Amino acid sequence: MNKDTICALATANGVGALGIIRVSGPDAIAVTNRCFKGKNLETAVSHTVHYGFITDGDETIDEVMVSVFLAPKTFTTEDSTEISFHGSPHIAGKILEVLTRNGARMAKGGEFTMRAFMNGRIDLSQAEAIADIIASENEASRKIAMNQLKGGITDEISVLRGDLLNFTSLVELELDFAEEDVEFADRTALNMLLNRIEEKLRSLVESFRYGNAVKNGVEVAIIGKPNAGKSTLLNTLLKEERAIVSDIAGTTRDTIEEVLHIRGTAFRFIDTAGIRDTTDTIEAIGVQKAHEKIAAAKILLYLYDEFDSTPQEVAAFIKEVYREDLKVVLLHNKSDLSSEKGQNFDNDLRSALEAENNVTLLSISAREKVGIEELKNELIDYVEGLKQSENNVIITNQRHHEALLRSLDSVRRVKDAVSQSFHTELLAYELRYALEYLGEISGEFTNDEVLGNIFSKFCIGK
């Protein structure tokens, strides 16, 4: 149990009709009561609200409502109060100051949620889901985070982990009877369980592609020769939508990314600085740079027109950069000027790229806004295509993804140990690892560094 009583502003730091300050810890009620003029909060019943004033000696700071929550049925499982005051940052500061003078200390980022986790009220993936819910910018990511908060991933994994734990106990028991050469753990049944776990993990790992797209957006590269119409297309796409231009931290200063939201999914146009100055052409930026951009993208929009390209040239470039997990959309631009030559161009291009899956060809006019809806549908179809109907639970978190990959790897090693009849000791060893990795997701196995890292990303007051 934590001895400290912590306090922090729980609402956004700015002007609002109301603000809320949260206090949690063994002295939460006493500390609040010391600063409160009204009913004696120390005799208040749990989950009740009280009218009064926050005072500093003789001075009245604000008229407030205080909610009292007694352990253990609270967010942190500790005694807690919530002070609703008139939402001014100045008043918030004064109230916090009085609280800290009366026995509370300022909470660190994520400390309330960390206490909820430490005190066993939520598991680690649920704590992370809280951060995700706060950060969710669209309906799809809110739903995914809410599902996780309800225990989605952990439920599924902990059932499988429980079964594996039973087998591990049996295998370890065999070690105690090593002399007698007995087999308590039925290897066929163990193998069946391992297959089930492997299948589950594999599908969760797969779900990350969709989850990540929903949560972080999909990287798109726009590439084409000079004057193909890249900047015109970007303008057309972004004009109707909310456009966000941002510098990406950790990359070169002139890297600009523009974001297009289509039906709740963000498409991030990588490195569009050059496109805006129309120097971002294959020639100008160099083939190397174009390749880097494509390597960082999930979707490639390749623009060309029939006046300044040949089908062979386009096909050769696409073949060079093609990979299975890259969606390529060939955009035959300037359809408003197109002629019969254009038809033949595309027929030739199609046959040259017959062997490449994931290549779509659309005829558009970036300037006259023709074919733009079809292009947007292509982008959305890509994201929908990542969704797997079998999965209710979708992974969006990088840490879970990595833990799942490690689990998957170790489950496969256990399978090898079973199928190749490894020594029981080795099998037990691999099993223990698999259990540990599976436990990392819910936080049954973690270390302080991992925890510190997760909770430090929370805002103060959460």
Q: Which two tokens stand for residue 292?
A: 């880097």
For residue 391, give the nearest of 252, 177, 222, 204 by alpha carbon.
Answer: 204
Measured distance CA(266)–CA(122) in Å, rounded: 30
Question: Is 82 labelled a binding residue?
Answer: yes
* Site for ligand GDP contains 337 (CB under 6 A): yes
**Residue with structure tokens 């489950």?**
411
Q: How far is the CB of 334 from ligand GDP (least distance, A)?
A: 4
Instruction: Pick the stretch among 121-129, 242-250, 294-302, 359-367 that binds ligand GDP (CB under 6 A).
Output: 359-367
DSSP code of residue 281: S
Measured distance CA(354)–CA(156) in Å, rounded: 42
Question: Is 67 labelled a binding residue?
Answer: no
Give the DSSP H or E segment for 212.
Answer: helix 187-216
* Nearest-5° Cα angle at 144, 141 to 146: 105
Question: Is 121 labelled a binding residue?
Answer: yes
Q: How far is the CB of 377 from ligand GDP (least distance, A)?
A: 19
Mode of pairing for the β-strands spanning 6-9 and 256-262: unpaired
Measured distance CA(118)–CA(4) in Å, rounded: 14
* Site for ligand GDP contains 368 (CB under 6 A): yes
* Site for ligand GDP contains 224 (CB under 6 A): yes
- Say how many CA atoms lie within 13 Å of 87 toward its Cβ: 11
Q: Among residues 335 and 410, whose Cβ is nearest to ligand GDP?
A: 335
Question: Is 271 labelled a binding residue?
Answer: yes
* Site for ligand GDP contains 231 (CB under 6 A): yes
Question: Is 232 labelled a binding residue?
Answer: yes
Which one among 110, 217, 229, 439 touches ligand GDP, defined by CB under 6 A?
Answer: 229
Q: How far is the CB of 260 from ligand GDP (least distance, A)?
A: 16
* Site for ligand GDP contains 227 (CB under 6 A): yes
Q: Which two tokens stand for residue 275?
A: 């496109």
Measured distance CA(248)–CA(297) in Å, rounded: 15
For residue 75, give the nearest of 29, 125, 25, 131 by alpha carbon.
Answer: 25
Which one among 202, 261, 367, 412 touches ligand GDP, defined by CB under 6 A?
Answer: 367
Q: How far is the CB of 234 from ligand GDP (least distance, A)?
A: 8
Which one among 139, 308, 313, 336 touches ligand GDP, defined by CB under 6 A?
Answer: 336
Q: Among residues 46 and 363, whose Cβ is nearest to ligand GDP?
A: 363
- DSSP assignments along 131-197, one per residue: HHHHH--SHHHHHHHHHHHTTHHHHHHHHHHHHHHHHHHHHHHHHHTGGGT---S-HHHHHHHHHHH
* Site for ligand GDP contains 366 (CB under 6 A): yes
Question: Residue 85: is it exposed, middle or buried by C-beta count within 10 angstroms (0-12/13-18/19+)?
Answer: buried
Q: How far is the CB of 232 from ligand GDP (least distance, A)?
A: 3
Binding-site string for ligand GDP from residue 248 to residue 277, where x marks contact by CB under 6 A and - marks none: ---------------------------x--
Binding residues for ligand GDP, how many (CB under 6 A)?
18
The angle that helices 372-386 and 187-216 make with each other, rounded to 10 degrees, is 150
Which one among 48, 60, 169, 278 touches ligand GDP, defined by CB under 6 A?
Answer: 278
Q: Among residues 69 and 302, whose Cβ is nearest to ligand GDP?
A: 302
* Site for ligand GDP contains 230 (CB under 6 A): yes
- Which parts are annotated binding residues for GTP? 227-232, 246-252, 271-274, 365-367
Q: Which residues bind ligand GDP (CB under 6 A)?
A: 224, 226-232, 275, 278, 333-334, 336-337, 365-368
- Which parts are annotated binding residues for (6S)-5-formyl-5,6,7,8-tetrahydrofolate? 22, 82, 121, 462
